[in-house]
Amino acid sequence: MLATNPLYITPEDYLAAEEISPTRHEYRDGEVFGMTGGTRNHHTIAGNLFFQLKVHLRGSSCRVFMEGMKLRVEASNSFYYPDVVVTCDDRDRPNNEQYIKYPRLIIEVLSPSTARFDRTEKFADYRTIPSLSEYLLISTDHQCIEHFQRDDHDTWNLMTATEPLNLASINCPIAIAEIYDDTDILPMV
């Protein structure tokens, strides 16, 4: 006889609770994790990226979302709130959906409490999304960007973040100084 986990939360129950919750939670295969608030630098970086991408993508079939949009990762039975996410897939167009499923670009702004998870388990989950072709990890300790791109052989490669940073998946160059604008984060020496 198989024992069931009495603490398992279904995706449907998670989504229903998340609609009325005053705080956001991420979901990973039956477990729910509360999200903490970010720092001023964290929100500034996410806002800078959102603004640059929104301007660049205006008039295209792509949409950019910031922090409040859930991302469904079916392979890992998970829901995450990326700091910035871009989708260009028509299947993500309905405005009444609580989440998207077909991102092209995901950006996470790192914090000491999330950096390890963003680099390991979360990135492993993200790599299962067929539509995803770029993943950025933005440091808040110093001006450092980890830029991962999926190649034609489905291999993820860490690219050196050069000036300007070129987001090939959406054909968008962004100056690193614009990403860190209005923060007190210093360049790497």
Nearest to 42 by CA among 84, 70, 78: 84
Domain count, the chain: 1
CA distance 4 to 63: 40
**Does some domain include residue 125?**
yes
pLDDT 10s digits, 111-134: 888 899 999 999 999 999 999 999
Q: ∠ CA 41-46-51 to the nearest 5 degrees?
A: 125
CATH number at residue 114: 3.90.1570.10
Q: Which pLDDT band holds residue 5 (cuts at 50, 70, 90)?
A: low
**Does some domain include residue 102?**
yes
pLDDT at 1: 41
Residue 3 has pLDDT above 60, yes or no: no
pLDDT 10s digits, 102-114: 999 999 999 888 8
**Average pLDDT across the chain, whole number:** 93
Q: Which pLDDT band holds residue 188 (cuts at 50, 70, 90)?
A: confident
pLDDT at 114: 87
38 or 77: which leads in pLDDT: 77
pLDDT 10s digits, 27-42: 999 999 998 778 999 9
Residue 172 has pLDDT above 70, yes or no: yes
**Does some domain include residue 136?**
yes
pLDDT at 4: 58
Q: How far is CA 62 from CA 43, 72, 81, 170, in A?
A: 22, 18, 18, 8
**Does some domain include residue 153?**
yes
Domain limits for position 155: 38-68+80-179
Cβ pair 155, 111 in contact under 8 A: no
